[in-house]
Chains A and B, each alone.
Chain A
Amino acid sequence: MILVALILILFSILAAFVRLRNATTSADRVIALDVISFQAIGALVGFSLLDGSPLAIESALVIGLIGFLSTLALTNLLLRDVGSPPPSS
């Protein structure tokens, strides 16, 4: 059953990668990367359940940290050439 769950998680990562490839805007790619980082946490937890060692949870924590920082960096990079926000009417 753990193996079935892992295969489902890998299919969902594949779906997110298809969206990453077929994205129309750059923000879509950032969304897909954010979801992929969460799904990598799930896949690492699944591997730790298969393996029996709880060390993978710490790497899941590190992957969550890296995913959050990369999302913030990419959004700041996309917002850099937009400039100040438009005046709200």
Chain B
Amino acid sequence: MIASFLLLGAALFYLIAGVGLLRLPDSLARLHAGAKASSLATILALAAAFAHHGGLWTGIMCAGALLFVFLTAPLASHAIARCVLRTRLDDSVPVRKGKESPIREADEPPPQSSRHSKHSERSERRLSMQT
């Protein structure tokens, strides 16, 4: 009974992660939705497995899986965030520039800045290589 409720909570948090992936406008916002809600849902799912099965070996496996998830989920999120920040095509890092809105639509063209830094030139070169 308690395992069913724990698994239902896990399913609700997985659903929050999926809806956040669908509806949030920015890559970093989607990363925020995906990483944390999925971690909490994984705790709840493994707790449901331990509450349903019991036993020593299942407990060891659940604890190992939980420890592994908590070791690796921040590392994976950090790697993805670094990848997003370094491969984005414009220079508007929303943390540094406070004037414009950090949320920008994906279809909207990037804002044209007067100065061209090394990063944007490299991005344009990569775009021309792709096309």
- In contact, A54 and B61 (Cβ under 8 angstroms): yes
Number of A-B residue pairs at CB separation under 8 A: 185
Pairs across A and B, CB under 8 Å, 12 listed: A2-B7, A19-B21, A27-B84, A34-B35, A34-B80, A46-B11, A54-B55, A58-B61, A64-B65, A72-B79, A82-B122, A86-B122
Task: Please list the 6 inter-chain residue pairs (A to B) with the smallest Cβ-Cβ separation, ordered nearest first.
Answer: A15-B18, A12-B18, A8-B11, A38-B38, A86-B119, A5-B11
A25 to B, closest residue via Cβ: B27
A contact set with B: CB distance below 8 Å: 1-2, 4-6, 8-9, 11-16, 18-19, 24-28, 30-32, 34-35, 38-39, 41-42, 45-46, 48-49, 54, 57-58, 60-61, 64-65, 67-68, 71-72, 75-76, 78-79, 81-83, 85-87
Contact residues of B between 2 and 55, Cβ < 8 Å to A = 3-5, 7-8, 10-12, 14-15, 17-19, 21-22, 27, 30-31, 34-35, 38-39, 41-42, 45-46, 48-49, 52-53, 55
Q: Please count how many residues in chain B sit with their CB below 8 Å of the partner chain's CB atoms.
A: 58
Tell me, in angstroms, the Cα distance from A5 to B52 when the chains sit together: 15
Tell me, in angstroms, the Cα distance from A73 to B37 when the chains sit together: 23
Tell me, in angstroms, the Cα distance from A22 to B118 when the chains sit together: 30
- In contact, B10 and A15 (Cβ under 8 angstroms): no
- In contact, B87 and A25 (Cβ under 8 angstroms): yes
B30 to A, closest residue via Cβ: A31
Tell me, in angstroms, the Cα distance from A30 to B77 when the chains sit together: 10
Tell me, in angstroms, the Cα distance from A31 to B15 when the chains sit together: 15
- In contact, B10 and A42 (Cβ under 8 angstroms): yes
The smallest C-beta distance from A24 to any residue of chain B, in angstroms, reads 4
